[in-house]
Amino acid sequence: MAQRRKAQQGGAELFCVCSADLETDHGGRIIGGQSDIALTEDGLKRAQELASRIRKSRLPIRTIFSSPLLRAIQTADTIHDFLNVKLRVIEPLRERNFGQWEGRPIAEISDWPEVTATPPGGESLEEFKNRVRLAIQTVKAEAEASGSVLIVAHPHLIRAWISLGPKVVPSDIDNGVIYRMDAKPDHWSATRI
Dump pLDDT digits (tens) for 161-183: 888 866 555 557 777 788 898 87
pLDDT at 149 over 50: yes
d(CA 78, CA 80): 5
Domain spans, the chain: 2-192
Q: Identify the band that residue 55 occupies on the pLDDT scale cut at 50, 70 and 90.
A: very high
Dump pLDDT digits (tens) for 58-111: 999 999 999 999 999 999 999 999 999 999 999 999 999 999 999 888 888 887
Closest CA to 114 of 156, 167, 157, 158: 156
Q: What is the pLDDT of residue 191?
A: 85
Handedness of CA 117, 120, 125, 155 (dihedral sign): negative
Any idea which fold 2-192 has? Rossmann fold (3.40.50)
The residue ranking higher by pLDDT, 70 or 191, is 70
d(CA 82, CA 128): 31
Q: What is the pLDDT of residue 9?
A: 32
Handedness of CA 25, 112, 179, 162 (dihedral sign): negative
Closest CA to 79 of 162, 23, 20: 20
The residue ranking higher by pLDDT, 52 or 31, is 52
Q: What is the pLDDT of residue 5?
A: 36
pLDDT at 6 over 70: no
Q: Identify the band that residue 114 occupies on the pLDDT scale cut at 50, 70 and 90.
A: confident
CB 150 within 8 A of CB 75: no
> What mean pLDDT do residues 130-146 have?
91
Handedness of CA 82, 80, 16, 47 (dihedral sign): positive
Closest CA to 131 of 106, 161, 102: 161
Q: What is the mean pLDDT of the chain?
A: 84
Q: Identify the band that residue 4 occupies on the pLDDT scale cut at 50, 70 and 90.
A: very low
